[in-house]
Amino acid sequence: MSRLSIKKRVTTFYAAVMLLFMIIVMSVFLVTLDLQITHVSQNALEKSVKNAFDYIAMPGDWLEISNDFDFYVNDVSLLVYGQEGTKMMGHAPQGFPEEIALQSDTHREYSSENENWQVYDLYTEYPNGTGVWVRGIYSLSNSKQTLRNVLVLMLLTLPLLVAITLAVGYVVTKRAFAPVRKIQQTAEYIMRKKDLSSRIGLEGNANDELYSLASTYDKLLEKIEDAFENEKQFTSDVSHELRTPVSVIISQAEYGLTQDDPVTMRESLDSILRQSEHMSRLITQLLELSRTGNALRSLNYEKFNLAELCEMVTDELQEQADSKGIQLISKLDRSIEIEADQTQLMRALINLVSNSISYGRDNGFVMVDLHRDGKNNDRINISVSDDGIGIAPEHLDKIFNRFYQADQARSKAKSSNTGLGLTMVKQIVEAHGGSISVQSTTGVGSTFTIVLPLTAEPEAKFSSI
Ligand code: ADP
């Protein structure tokens, strides 16, 4: 059975259930019909026997039977017997066992080889003490024949009904399972052509289980395609980012080797060192980004005071700020307790504050502001502002992209800048179910704002299990 396709299994099951149902219905019908026939014939028999006494009288010592007395009425044969059981009038139907004893007011059934009868006897005693029996015999052959005909008809139509059930069942299940074929074809096509852009694209009722399965698969394919494209883009971005320092290193090394002047050679070595440091930083950041990606898949949620975390961040970066004479200002709501991954949030904040210091004005300020969200009580805002160089409007929507640097000259000048920091911050914030935005004016300063839910969203918690 399990070797059959689901379509055939469903059809067979459906047909078997229908067959069973039909057999039960037919059996109930036949039994009811049989009972009904017996009931009707017993009524007719009893009525005929009782009516017969209307035509029998006992005016003296003798019995008088009216000329109108009919010995065969409504398919019932009537026989009259004396008190001792001696037959006086009437004929039993052919083949009826006459020796059957009289028994007043009891319905009985007798059968011979090829006949069935119903028998009903009634005894009445007249005032002179003499009694009379009337026996009614009803032949059941007609009724039994009707019953047999119905049974034969049913047995003949049963296979036809089963065939129709099987055919209809097969067509219905075939139609119902058509989407499965479509899903399979799409999967085969994707495997054969290695084309992840293909979709099942089933149209239909959203309540249909197969339709929703197909649309879930489509969404899954979309995610896989995105991830695949991302990987491709990532590899190409990384190669591109590494190619520049590597070519500078090669050309500087080649140039240095052709020079005898130690000063020029030193300059080349300096340049090689800077590029190597940049590459090393780039590789470290890439590793960190990949580790963050892995860590974000299993966030370690815990409850902690967010103001304390912000203070740890500013303490950590105090020295960097001092080196530029930048004042670190904190405006913190100390009552905020958040459920989040402390290590990851700290990395995100360190990145933001560190950027603000890097791109901040000498002797300027960097402010960390933590407060509850004005609109949603279950969210908090952390903003990091500076009065630094700002970001031109055309770069604002791109700075969260991998390797993107708004001010290439300035960013690249520092070997520590890689254009990966904000990408990581965004990943961390979004993994917590939050969002990040930026407002900036060139030459005036920038404000990065993170909005986070106070408690872990069930989905995020679930994915961290
Ligand atoms: P980077 O390593 O270059 O700092 P990030 O991803 O951290 O990489 O930032 C991307 C770009 O966004 C930076 O190169 C810089 O141009 C811009 N940027 C980020 N933070 C600031 C800021 N506070 N002020 C001005 N520009 C900023």
Minimum-distance ligand 1 atom for the alpha carbon of 422: 6
Answer whether residue 160 is part of any domain. Answer: yes
Mutate to test the pocket of ligand 1, among 241, 281, 385, 422 (most ligand atoms within 8 A of CB): 422
pTM: 0.59
pLDDT-based confidence at 462, cuts 50/70/90? very low
* Residue 120 pLDDT: 95
* Residue 411 pLDDT: 57
Indicate the residue among 106, 134, 168 that finishes a domain: 168
- Using the CB atoms, write b or e for 131-169: b if 16+ within 10 Å: ebbbbbbbbbeebeeeeeeeeeebeeeeeeeeeebbeeb
Name the least confident of 152-161, 230-239, 311-320.
230-239
Mean pLDDT of 238-253: 90
Q: Which residues line ligand 1 (CB under 6 A)?
A: 355-356, 359, 386, 388-391, 399, 404-407, 411, 417-423, 446
pLDDT greater than 70 at residue 459: no
Minimum-distance ligand 1 atom for the alpha carbon of 423: 6
* Whether 257 and 307 share a structural domain: no
* Residue 464 pLDDT: 37
* Whether 263 and 158 share a structural domain: no
**Tens of pLDDT along 218-235?**
999 999 998 888 888 888
C-alpha distances in angstroms, 315 versus 256, 321, 422? 43, 10, 21
Please give the residue that has the higher pLDDT: either 45 or 406: 45
- For ligand 1, atom 25: residue with the closest CA: 390
Ligand 1 centre to CA of 184 (Å) is 47
pLDDT-based confidence at 334, cuts 50/70/90? very high
Minimum-distance ligand 1 atom for the alpha carbon of 405: 14
* Residue 465 pLDDT: 32
Ligand 1 centre to CA of 359 (Å) is 7
Give the containing element (helix H, strand E) for 449: strand 445-453
pLDDT greater than 50 at residue 463: no
* Residue 396 pLDDT: 93
* Whether 10 and 125 share a structural domain: yes
* Whether 456 and 325 share a structural domain: yes
* Whether 153 and 182 share a structural domain: no
* Whether 314 and 405 share a structural domain: yes
- Enumerate residues 6+ apart whose C-beta is below 8 A from 36: none
- Which residue range is the domain that position 273 belongs to? 178-296
Answer whether residue 1 is part of any domain. Answer: no
* Whether 354 and 330 share a structural domain: yes
Mean pLDDT estimate for the chain? 88
Measured distance CA(391)–CA(217) in Å, rounded: 41
Q: What CATH code is carried by the domain that includes residue 214? A: 1.10.287.130
Minimum-distance ligand 1 atom for the alpha carbon of 285: 2
Answer whether residue 152 is part of any domain. Answer: yes
Asked whether 56 and 65 are in contact (CB, 8 A), the reply is yes
Ligand 1 centre to CA of 388 (Å) is 11
* Whether 35 and 73 share a structural domain: yes
* Cβ neighbour number for residue 62 with a 10 Å cutoff: 9
- Enumerate residues 6+ apart whose C-beta is below 8 A from 362: 324, 325, 326
Q: What CATH code is carried by the domain that includes residue 153? A: 3.30.450
Answer whether residue 442 is part of any domain. Answer: yes
**Tens of pLDDT along 102-141?**
999 999 998 877 788 999 999 999 888 888 999 999 988 8
Asked whether 391 and 406 are in contact (CB, 8 A), the reply is yes
* Cβ neighbour number for residue 434 with a 10 Å cutoff: 22
Answer whether residue 318 is part of any domain. Answer: yes
Measured distance CA(274)–CA(245) in Å, rounded: 9
Indicate the residue among 168, 191, 215 that finishes a domain: 168
Indicate the residue among 238, 271, 296 that finishes a domain: 296
Ligand 1 centre to CA of 279 (Å) is 18
* Whether 80 and 156 share a structural domain: yes
Ligand 1 centre to CA of 369 (Å) is 19
**Tens of pLDDT along 339-393?**
999 999 999 999 999 999 999 999 999 999 999 987 778 899 999 999 999 999 9
* 56-60, 109-113, 158-162, 248-252 — most confident range: 248-252
* Whether 393 and 337 share a structural domain: yes
* Residue 415 pLDDT: 54
- The total domain count for the chain is 3
**Tens of pLDDT along 389-438?**
999 999 999 999 888 887 665 555 555 678 889 999 999 999 999 999 99
Percent of the chain scoring above 70 in pLDDT: 95
Percent of the chain scoring above 90 in pLDDT: 49
Answer whether residue 159 is part of any domain. Answer: yes
* Whether 36 and 141 share a structural domain: yes
pLDDT greater than 60 at residue 267: yes
* Whether 150 and 38 share a structural domain: yes
* Residue 425 pLDDT: 95
Answer whether residue 173 is part of any domain. Answer: no
pLDDT-based confidence at 200, cuts 50/70/90? confident
- For ligand 1, atom 17: residue with the closest CA: 406
Residue 74: DSSP 8-state: T
Q: What CATH code is carried by the domain that includes residue 418? A: 3.30.565.10
Measured distance CA(49)–CA(61) in Å, rounded: 23
Measured distance CA(30)–CA(23) in Å, rounded: 10
Answer whether residue 452 is part of any domain. Answer: yes
